Amino acid sequence: MGDAALTTRRASELSRSLTRLRSMVEQGNIEGARAFTRDLERQWPEDARVREWSRVLAPPEAESTGQSTGRGMDREFGWLEEHAHEHPGCWLAVVGDCLVASDADLARVRAALSRERIEGALIHFQPAPPR
């Protein structure tokens, strides 16, 4: 078998394997997919698609940061309970009991927060009611 034919066959084999991997994920066989990904990594260690699947299927990693950065959000949630429905289809940024930004585009809300140097806002999306 020539080099070109071998390359084509390998590419076809990889494509089939990735389709099988995706199917395992879609059927909820995550542990099977994780094991299969390890096989794929051994066979195609340089392939970007295999590396990405391996990355996203890897078990999560958690670590304590040693810092405590949380704060109470009672006022923000209280504001949302009373007023969020007044802003259908919008992303809302709330600090304390004040709405500090709202827009249908979250990027615009975040830009406004950055412009005003507001940190720690509670971000909430208020879906529009079904028609």
Q: How far apart are CA 24 and CA 18, in angstroms?
A: 10
Supply the minimum distance, in Å, between the C-beta of residue 107 and another protein. Answer: 6
Supply the minimum distance, in Å, between the C-beta of residue 100 and another protein. Answer: 11
Residue identified by tokens 């590419």 is 11
Supply the minimum distance, in Å, between the C-beta of residue 3 and another protein. Answer: 27
C-beta atoms surrounding 113 within 10 Å: 18
Supply the minimum distance, in Å, between the C-beta of residue 11 and another protein. Answer: 16
Please identify, using beta-carbon distances, which residue of 7 and 114 lies nearer to another protein.
114
CB 93 within 8 A of CB 118: yes
Binding footprint of another protein on the chain (CB under 8 A): 22, 25-26, 28, 30, 48-49, 52-53, 55-73, 76-77, 80-81, 84, 91, 93, 105-107, 110, 113, 119-127, 129-130
End-to-end C-alpha distance for the chain, whole angstroms: 62
Please identify, using beta-carbon distances, which residue of 25 and 99 lies nearer to another protein.
25
Which residues, listed in sequence order, are joined to residue 93 by a DSSP beta bridge? 101, 123
